[in-house]
Structures are given as C-alpha cells and as structure tokens.
Amino acid sequence: MRQLSKFGPVVAAVACALLVVPPARADFQYGHVYVTHAGTGDPFTPIDTIYEIDPASGQVTPFLQYTNNRGLGGMAFTPDGSGLRVFRRSLNQILEVRSDASQSVVLSGSDGLAGPAGDNGLAYDRNRDLFAFNDGFDHITRFPQGNGPSQFFGSTLPGYGSIAFGASGDLYWGGANEISGPEGLVKRFTPDGQIHDFDAYDGPGTGRVQSLTGDSQGNLYVMTDENTGTIYKYPAENAALRQTLITGFQTSSGVLGISPDERTLFVGTNAFLFGVDLETGERTQLAQIPGDARVNGLVVYVPEPAPVFGTALLLIVATRRGFVAADRLHQGDRK
C-alpha cells in the first residue's frame, strides 16, 4: 500500500475535537453563495469559517466559525439540499453541516479518505454518489450514496486539483502537471472511469488550473492563472470550441460556481465574490468578506439538485449591481 507521505500530520490530528460557535440559523437560503476561509494556522485569525453571501445585496454573514485552523476547504450540498458536505484537510475528515449549523463527521480515513483537497474538491453525480479529490493518493474516490467505504474511481497527477461534473455526466479534474511542468491540465473521466486528456494550458503564467464548473446546458468553465487569471468556456464540453470568457482577472487563484439561472459565473478570489456575465464576460464585484479572509471553497445553494441535474428555477431581474432575486419558484420549496 502506498504511504501517505504528503499527509504526515493528518492521522494524529483526526482525534481532535471540533469546537464550533454556531449562530442561530433557520435554513439554507436558495441562490445564496457559501464560501470557506481556511486559516493559515493557529493562532492566526481569521480562523476557519464558512460564510454565507447574498449575491443580490452583497451581505456577508458568518454561517459557522471554528475555534482552530484545520484546512477548511471544498464543499458540496447533498442532492436533497439538507446538508452541506465540507472537508477539513488536516483532520482528514468530511463533515456534514446542517442548516442550523449543527454538524457531524461523516467520512474519515477509515472510509478511505486520504487528504481531501481542491477548491472544488467535492462533487455529487446523478446517482447521488459523492466524489472527492484524494490528494494523499493522487486519485479521485467515490463514496456510494455519499457513504463509505470508498471506491477507487480514477488516477490524477500529483498536486492539488479541482473536480466538477458536466451535463454529460462526465467528471472533470483540473490541476497541473507537477512532474514535467507546471503545465495546467484538464482530464475527463467517463462514468465507468475511463480517462481522457481534455485540454492543456501553458501560459503566460504557469497555466495552472484553479477551478472548474459546469452548467446544465453542456458548457464547461475552467479558470487558470494565465495572464493574472483567465476563464475559458467550452460549449458542448468540446475542447475544440474553447472560448476566452474573460482574461486579466488580476488574481492568481479563484474558485467558480454557477448562479441558479445560469446567467452569471460566480468567482471567489481573495476576500471578494465577483459575478461574470456569461454572455458578455463583464465582471462585477458582488461582495467583500471583511478582514483578511481568503475564499478557499465555494458552492451555490440550489437543492434537489441543480443547475446540472435539478429542476429548480430562480427568477432573476438585472440591475446595475448585477441582479436581484425577484421571486423564487421552486417545486417542493422547503419552509
């Protein structure tokens, strides 16, 4: 068995208790953006925190704040919208956080978890299986119905990476070739685990892939660090149709998500949330997290599940700020 050399401190830390300060909550809010900030180590502040952002008003609210820094990272809502899965890398754990900010450990090393990583490091498929980028073993792991034990799904290259599903049902991994590069790469995994090279990037900059996401129309979006931040659009998940949506983003890192109406690409970078118009490529600042926070993971609350696999609809009215949620039309809307 391969040794978990990249991940030395993890095992000893797994037994550490999780101490949280949960604010009173009513529910996850449809169309809101949830982001993680990972602290740089104890006792530095701000500490590991999940923030809730209303992209219409720009309001930022701490949703759940921890009392230590343990590599809070990528997130994915459960398909029914009842829970938020999030990993804490240095504890080698995936937690499920509920709308009242209560939480429990649902997956750990005993389930086959080995260093979860990636700004988009967790994703659900149509079958409600949970996929995680397992950086400790440089592979993608599947957890059937979101539970252990794990199943090996496919190998990646050494180094951090992000994962996301396309409308086709194929899973995409984006990262960098740390062996002969760095050169940014995206690989495509079919549901049966076959691997295909999708696209590569070589600068200016390293071309490293920061994040990727897909929509229900078959478009794939990839952010690299080329030219201080470049976002590409791939219609029909076809590498030959690559388009530059925006470049010169003035950041070397970012994490992506899609608005419920699929007109806006959310980009979390440093302490900011931006919206990029998917027709024009125009960028708008939507929110700023106070203090020295840095967006590490990002997910949009659209349960049961959408935009790629669901039936929810959010009516959006354009304004000078970008958009305002005008009404919510959602079958089976939870009260």
Q: Predicted confidence band at 204 (pLDDT cuts at 50, 70, 90)?
A: low
Alpha-carbon span 334 to 20, nearest angstrom: 26
What pLDDT shows up at residue 324? 36
- Neighbouring C-alpha atoms within 13 Å toward the C-beta of 212: 30
Is the pLDDT assigned to residue 294 strictly greater than 70? yes
Alpha-carbon span 320 to 309, nearest angstrom: 30
Alpha-carbon span 131 to 122, nearest angstrom: 6
Q: Judge whether 227 lies within some domain.
A: yes
Q: Judge whether 27 lies within some domain.
A: no
Q: Where are the alpha helices (DSSP H) in the chain?
A: 10-13
Residue 289 contacts residue 283 (beta carbons within 8 Å): no
Is the pLDDT assigned to residue 213 strictly greater than 90? yes
- Range(s) of the domain holding residue 190: 5-20+33-329
Dihedral angle of Cα 303, 307, 310, 315, to the nearest 10 degrees: 80
Higher pLDDT, 42 or 310: 42
- Neighbouring C-alpha atoms within 13 Å toward the C-beta of 136: 25
Question: For 61-78, how does the pLDDT look when each residue is reduced to its tens digit (9 = 90+)?
Answer: 999 988 877 888 899 999
What pLDDT shows up at residue 280? 95
Q: Judge whether 25 lies within some domain.
A: no
Higher pLDDT, 246 or 316: 246
Is the pLDDT assigned to residue 318 strictly greater than 50? no
Phi, psi values for residue 47, rounded to 5°: -85, 175
Amino acid of residue 3: Q
Q: Judge whether 214 lies within some domain.
A: yes
What pLDDT shows up at residue 181? 63
Q: Predicted confidence band at 123 (pLDDT cuts at 50, 70, 90)?
A: very high
Residue 120 contacts residue 255 (beta carbons within 8 Å): yes
Question: For 137-152, how does the pLDDT look when each residue is reduced to its tens digit (9 = 90+)?
Answer: 788 899 999 997 899 8
CA torsion sign for 89, 92, 97, 102 is negative
Q: Judge whether 26 lies within some domain.
A: no
What pLDDT shows up at residue 214? 97
Averaged over 120-125, what is the pLDDT? Answer: 92
Q: Judge whether 335 lies within some domain.
A: no
CATH of residue 170's domain is 2.120.10.30
Q: What is the DSSP string of 113-156?
A: ---B--TT-EEE-TT--EEEEETTTTEEEEEGGG-SSPEEEEE-
Count how many domains the chain has: 1
Q: Predicted confidence band at 326 (pLDDT cuts at 50, 70, 90)?
A: very low
Q: Which helix (H) or strand (E) holds 22?
A: none
Nearest Cα to 28, choosing from 59, 74, 63, 72?
63
Amino acid of residue 149: P
Alpha-carbon span 312 to 332, nearest angstrom: 9
N-to-C CA span, the chain: 48
Averaged over 176-205, what is the pLDDT? Answer: 84
Q: Predicted confidence band at 1 (pLDDT cuts at 50, 70, 90)?
A: very low
Q: Judge whether 28 lies within some domain.
A: no
Alpha-carbon span 103 to 20, nearest angstrom: 9
What pLDDT shows up at residue 42? 65
Q: Judge whether 140 lies within some domain.
A: yes
